[in-house]
Amino acid sequence: MFKQKVVTGMATLASVMVLSACSTNTNEESTSSSSMAESSSEMEQSSMVSSSAMTSSDAATDSSMSHGEMEHDESGTLPTGIKKAVDPKYDIGDEVTIKADHMEGMDGAEATIVGAFDTTAYVVSYTPTDGSPRVENHKWVVNEEVEQPDNGDIKEGSEVTLMSNHMPGMEGATATIEKAEPTTVYMVDYMPTDGTDEVKNHKWVVEDEVDPK
């Protein structure tokens, strides 16, 4: 009888130990599974943050795009009403060196004068109509390329509507006049210093932006 109780007790103890071991294994598996889930979640969050940072960086790059990176209209079409210069410093056919950086590869480029006109030239800031980033301090737009206000008074700080198409998204855009300068403007052909193709009929450069060759 005593032996039977001992055997029974040992069997019970063994069962408890087995159950305890199973419970421990279950807890370890649960803990391991939880850790893996947390690790996966952290990796996903890290990936999302990285992706967000790249998107922000791309947006910053896009927004910093200057008008010098845009495609320039080379049609040579003149705005209605613009008058040829009476006594320009440079005549059509004169060769000059450009010292302005309106476009990439422009500064230091050799150029030929193809037109000279007396007008008022404006530096303008505007948001293109095609959704491109805002353009700051674009040089130049002439008086004949802006919609004239009823009072005919355009000065620094005035808001005007652009009628020129030097760049995509320019025509019809609302612009702020940053600077107004009565001057002679020139249309030029030039060979960029960065090795790109020759630019035809660039509008515009003013007298102090070119030197005689």
Domains of the chain, first to last? 67-212 (2.30.30.1210)
Q: Which residue has the tokens 């008058």?
A: 83
Please say if the pLDDT value at position 179 is more than 60: yes
54-63 LR contacts (CB < 8 Å, sep 24+): 62/133, 63/133, 63/134
Q: What percent of the chain has pLDDT over 90?
A: 59
Tell me the pTM.
0.67
Residue (of 168, 177, 164) closest to 203 by Cα position: 164
CA distances from 90 to 125, 180, 186, 198, 199 (A): 28, 22, 8, 21, 19
Average pLDDT on 137-148 reads: 96
Q: What percent of the chain has pLDDT over 70?
A: 65
Q: How far apart are CA 96 and CA 163, in angstroms?
A: 29
Q: How far apart are CA 32 and CA 162, in angstroms?
A: 66
CA distances from 129 to 13, 126, 208, 210 (A): 84, 9, 31, 31
Give residue 29's Cα distance to chain centre: 52
For 88-110, the pLDDT digits (tens) are 999 999 999 999 999 999 999 99
Amino acid at 53: A
